[in-house]
Amino acid sequence: MRPFAAIYSTFLQRGYDQVVHDVAIQGLPVRFAIDRAGLVGADGPTHAGSFDIGYLGQLPGFILMAPSDEAELARMVATAALIDDRPSAFRFSPGRRGGRPPP
């Protein structure tokens, strides 16, 4: 089995201590699909995922991916499924193709 944890960025932030102790320190291959990454507008400031790059990027061995479009997001999901020796994450926002506003 290849565990994927789908979670809003802001809720992952609230569980940061568990990510550090239960995943990162142990180097477990948990894959985080981080929804609501970045400024998400209508969801309000408490649901903006503005900090996930900062707090996950400092963890040892953690692979963090941020796609520029939908095709790149699909490749990052496939890449995350292949990573078996460390935690990884890919972040995205709703209504956007990877990270850019729709045309």
| 35-71 confidence digits (pLDDT tens) | 887 766 666 666 677 788 889 999 999 999 999 888 9
Six-digit token string for 8: 């809003």
Picking from 71, 70, 68, 33, the residue whose alpha carbon sits closest to that of residue 52 is: 33
Q: Which residues contact 99 (CB under 8 A, 6 or more apart)?
A: 37, 38, 66, 67, 68, 69, 91, 92, 93
Query: Residue 103 has what pLDDT?
Result: 40
**What confidence category does residue 28 fall into, taking pLDDT thresholds of 50, 70 and 90?**
very high
Other CB atoms within 10 A of residue 51 CB: 14
Query: Residue 43 has what pLDDT?
Result: 66
What's the mean pLDDT in 3-8? Answer: 92
Query: Residue 10 has what pLDDT?
Result: 86
